[in-house]
Amino acid sequence: MKNKDIFYDIYSEFYNVNKFRELKNVVHHGTNRLEHITRVAKLSFIISRKLNLDYISCTRGAILHDFFTSEDANRSDGKYRDFLKKHPIQALTNSKEYFELNEVESDIILSHMYPITKEKPKYAESKVVCITDKLVSYYEFFRYQLNFTANFAFIFLLKFIRF
C-alpha cells in the first residue's frame, strides 16, 4: 500500500464526521483550520513512518490537535495567550466526544503547544507533532513575508508531504 493510500485511510475516519469538516470554515493562520491540520498530519505521518514510530497514533493525534471550531484564534486582545494555553483541552474534549483515543493520541493533543503550555510531550509521537505543528504554523504565518530562500525551503518541505 502506498503512503498516500495509508494516510487517506486514516484521515477518512475523521473527514466523515460533520463536526470535523466544519473546521474548513474556521480561519486559522491565514488559511483554514482543516488545511492546517491536514498539513501537520501529513508531515507527522511521513516523519513518524521514517522513524518507525506508531504512525497511526501520530497521524490521528495530529489530525485532532486543533479540533475545535471557535474563532478565538483570531483575537488580537490580551486573551490570545490564554487561548493558546486552553485550546488543547478544548480539542481533547471535542476529540473524545467524537472518537476513541489511546493514551498517545491524547498526549499529542494536550502537549502540542509545549512550551507555551506546561504539558510536556511524553511520547516520541507527541514530540513529532509538537515540532511539526510549529514548522507548519511558522510557514502559514510568514509564507507571504519570507525571503525567497526561506519560502523555497518551506514550499519544498510542504511539497514533500504531498506524497
End-to-end CA distance of the chain: give it in Å, rounded: 13
Average pLDDT of 130-145? 82
Three-state SS at 31: strand
Q: What is the pLDDT of the chain when averaged over all its residues? A: 84
Helices 33-50 and 55-64 pack at an angle, to 10 degrees, of 160
Lowest model confidence (mean pLDDT) among 33-42, 94-103, 148-157: 148-157
Compare 100 and 143 and report the one with higher pLDDT.
Answer: 100
User: Phi/psi of residue 116, each to 5°?
Assistant: -65, -40
Task: Give me the residues paired with residue 32 across strands.
Answer: 27
Q: What percent of the chain has pLDDT over 90?
A: 59
Question: What's the CA gap between 78 and 76, in Å, rounded?
Answer: 7
Mean pLDDT throughout 12-29? 86
pTM of the model: 0.84
pLDDT in tens, 63-78: 999 998 765 444 445 5
Q: Please confirm whether the linkage preceding 121 is cis (ω < 30° from 0).
A: no
Q: Are 20 and 97 in contact (CB under 8 A)?
A: no
**Cα–Cα distance list, 26 to 60, 115, 152 (Å):** 20, 25, 27
**H or E element that contains 153:** helix 148-160
Q: Percentage of residues in the chain with pLDDT exceeding 70? A: 75
Residues in the chain: 163
| Residues 125 and 62: beta-carbon distance below 8 Å | no
Alpha-helix runs per DSSP H in 16-123: 18-21, 33-50, 55-64, 80-98, 103-111
